[in-house]
Amino acid sequence: MSDSTELRSYTVRLELVDRPGELLRALSPIADHGGNLLSIFHERGNVTPRGQIPVEVDMEATPDQFDTVVDALRGEGINVIQAGAEQYTEELTVVLTGHLVNTDLSNTLERIQSATGANVDDLSLSAPEGDEGISSARVRLATNAGGADSALETIREVADEKDLRVIEPLTAGEGA
Amino acid sequence: MRLAVVGAGAVGSAVAELAGEYGHTVTALADSGGAAVDPDGIDVDGALTRKEAEGTVGTAPTADALAGPYDVLVEATPTTLGDAEPGFGHVRAALERDCHVVLANKGPVAERYGEVRALERESAGEVYLEATVGGAMPVLSTIADFGAEHIEAARGVLNGTANFVLSRMAAEGLGYEHVLAEAQDLGVAEADPSFDVEGTDAALKCVILANVLYDREYTLSDAAVEGIRDLPGSALELAAEDGRTIRLIGEVKNGAIRVGPRLIPEHGALAVTGTRNIVELETEHAGLLDISGRGAGGPETATAVLADVGRLAE
């Protein structure tokens, strides 16, 4: 959130008038201002009470680019229902075990967050043997699209350095 | 078919005992101390009774079993690493005299796959190895039926001992040492459980899967292996709070072999309990295919051996 040149994922919900060319008109400002379109969900069969068609657009952009894109959309008279809420698109849960407390758990988490731009959404610690013993932590991270792999890479490095064990998730059918 | 069974442990004995039921004749049964050999068929019960009483199945030299008449050599000696001897030598001896080989021993195809296939190419005999991966489960024959090039990945639980330990720890909230001791009392774990809990056994099976899937030689040293020794119970508790559990998972994907404890959905297909095994194949045209069953044991593994013998008899 600190770095305004870093690419982030955003979801924008638009409502379009049911008219030929309207979708293209809505997407042009995104490309024109440096946004990278990830996906478009065009709910043609699903008309809003105002008779418009909802469209959900996922894109990548820097925070500055994103603001420009939203302004441009509104300037074109396009109805922007929701924007600006940053959406993390991938989730990653790992369990760490070892001398977590002795090796400074908050430092471990900070390093994982700062190196990957991931956000620690949830943390559960179990230290039945007390601070000096072996403990476990379950960490749930939210990352940008495609960010889970690099987050995992960083977790492995930090864990290796601190002699912690990483129990990684098995993502069945990944990449299939 | 006439079978020479080398190795008279749980698997070799079970093959010898069940062979008659499947219409085959055991012409030799050997262990490390001696052999029983008879071209008309040995007295299997007598040989096994003798082994129980005196420690060996017969008085003939073990080498006679390899030299006698047979169509299929069943190699069921203990799995050894590195040069995979004496199993590899037995495979070579059988192929050089144009006999078939059915392996229960993982060593030759996990450590010297290229050489085994090279010897097979020079021989009129063929090599089958269903029993080396997943006991009774038809994993390799399914891959052969689908065609290895149509399988994109294989993963699963391939060691019953490690799975027993993890599933008991998760279900009862018990510690690693406690459950391991219990497994040893039940005969599920060996006195020295290293091979199972350090992931070596699962890794050997994954190496064999990789050899078959990619048709090139991988060995144990190509696998990234992590075991479950001393895994804290708190890790399983935290996983369970999140609807997950931990299993020792072997994975063959994108040319890489990996074995280690992994987080999986608690009620997913791969979360088998007890000593049960499972292999999940990611197929090109048919999605995921799960094969589950008993991955070890004498009669179970003998069933896979005899299925291979049946294929050779066709």
Q: What is the pLDDT of residues B149-189, one digit of tens each?
A: 999 999 999 999 999 999 999 999 999 999 999 999 999 99
Counting residues of chain B whose pLDDT is more than 90, the rounded percentage is 98
Residues of A in contact with B280 (CB under 8 A): 172
Q: Answer whether A121 touches B (CB < 8 Å).
A: no
Greater pLDDT, B191 or B209? B209
Model confidence band, residue B71 (pLDDT cutoffs 50, 70, 90): very high
When the candidates are 3.30.70.260, 3.30.360.10, 3.40.50.620, 3.40.50.2300, the CATH number that belongs to A90-167 is 3.30.70.260
pLDDT of residue B46 exceeding 70: yes
Q: Look at A95 and B280 and tell me if their CB atoms are within 8 Å.
A: no
User: How close does chain A come to B282, measured CA to CA in Å?
Assistant: 7
DSSP state of A2: -
List B51, B106, B205, B253, catalytic entry: B205
Report how many Cβ contacts below 8 Å link chain A to chain B: 69
Helix ranges, A45-172 (H): 63-75, 105-116, 148-161
Closest residue to B262, CB basis, from A134, A170, A173 = A170
DSSP state of A170: P
Degrees to nearest 5, angle at CA B122 with B117 and B126? 55
B54, B55, B57, B58 alpha-carbon torsion, rounded to 10°: -60
Closest residue to B246, CB basis, from A124, A140, A167 = A167
Same domain, yes or no: B164 and B58: no
Residues of A in contact with B251 (CB under 8 A): 170
Same domain, yes or no: B206 and B250: yes
Assembly ipTM: 0.86
Residues of A in contact with B246 (CB under 8 A): 95, 167
What is the 3 state secondary structure string of A7-29? CEEEEEEEEECCCCCHHHHHHHH
B236-274 pLDDT tens trace: 999 999 999 999 999 999 999 999 999 999 999 999 999
User: How close does chain A come to B132, measured CA to CA in Å?
Assistant: 24
Q: Look at A168 and B262 and tell me if their CB atoms are within 8 Å.
A: yes
> What pLDDT, on a 0 to 100 scale, did the predictor assign at position A3?
52
What is the maximum alpha-carbon separation in chain B? 62
CA–CA gap between residue B142 and residue B153 (Å, rounded): 13
Q: Answer whether B281 touches A (CB < 8 Å).
A: no
Residues of A in contact with B262 (CB under 8 A): 167-170
When the candidates are 3.40.50.300, 1.10.10.10, 3.30.365.10, 3.30.70.260, the CATH number that belongs to A8-82 is 3.30.70.260
B2-32 pLDDT tens trace: 999 999 999 999 999 999 999 999 999 999 9
CA–CA gap between residue B35 and residue B303 (Å, rounded): 23
φ, ψ at B185 (rounded to 5°): -60, -35
| Domain tally, chain B | 2
Model confidence band, residue B76 (pLDDT cutoffs 50, 70, 90): very high
Same domain, yes or no: B79 and B194: no
User: How close does chain A come to B261, measured CA to CA in Å?
Assistant: 6
Nearest to A35 by CA among A54, A58, A3, A1: A58
Q: Answer whether B280 touches A (CB < 8 Å).
A: yes
Query: Closest-CA residue in chain A for B288?
Result: A173
Nearest to B37 by CA among B55, B23, B16: B16
Domain boundaries, chain A: 8-82, 90-167
8 Å CB contact between B84 and B61: no
Closest residue to A134, CB basis, from B232, B241, B268 = B232
Neighbours of A6 (CB within 10 A): 11
Query: Closest-CA residue in chain A for B269?
Result: A172
Same domain, yes or no: B110 and B123: yes
Task: Tell me the pLDDT of chain B averaged across its residues.
Answer: 96
DSSP state of A133: S
User: How close does chain A come to B106, measured CA to CA in Å?
Assistant: 26
Greater pLDDT, A60 or B199? B199
| CATH assignment at residue B89 | 3.40.50.720
B253 annotated active-site: no
Residues of A in contact with B270 (CB under 8 A): 170, 172
CA–CA gap between residue A95 and residue A137 (Å, rounded): 5
Same domain, yes or no: B148 and B289: yes
CA–CA gap between residue B51 and residue B45 (Å, rounded): 10
Same domain, yes or no: B65 and B176: no
Counting residues of chain B whose pLDDT is more than 70, the rounded percentage is 100
Closest residue to A95, CB basis, from B155, B235, B251 = B235
> What pLDDT, on a 0 to 100 scale, did the predictor assign at position A59?
86
pLDDT by 10s per residue, chain A, length 176:
445 677 788 888 888 888 888 888 888 888 888 888 888 887 767 777 777 888 888 888 888 888 888 888 888 888 887 665 555 567 889 999 999 988 888 899 888 888 777 888 889 999 888 878 899 999 998 887 677 888 899 999 999 999 999 999 997 444 32
Residue B209 sits in which domain range? 141-294
Q: Taking the alpha carbons of B252, B253, B256, B258 in that order, is the dihedral positive or negative?
A: negative
Average the pLDDT over B217-231 and give the result: 96
B27-39 pLDDT tens trace: 999 999 999 999 9
DSSP codes joined into one string, chain B: -EEEEE--SHHHHHHHHHHGGGT-EEEEEEETTEEEE-TT---HHHHHHHHHHHSSS-SB-HHHHHHS--SEEEE-SPP--TT-TTHHHHHHHHHHTT-EEEE--SHHHHH-HHHHHHHHHTSSS-EE-GGGSSTTS-HHHHHHHH-GGGEEEEEEE--HHHHHHHHHHHHH---HHHHHHHHHHHTSS-SS-HHHHTSHHHHHHHHHHHHHHH-S---GGGEEE---TT--HHHHHHHHHTTEEEEEEEEEETTEEEEEEEEEETTSTT---TTEEEEEEEESSS-EEEEEEE---HHHHHHHHHHHHHHHH-
Q: What is the CA radius of gyration of chain A?
A: 21
CA–CA gap between residue B313 and residue B189 (Å, rounded): 36
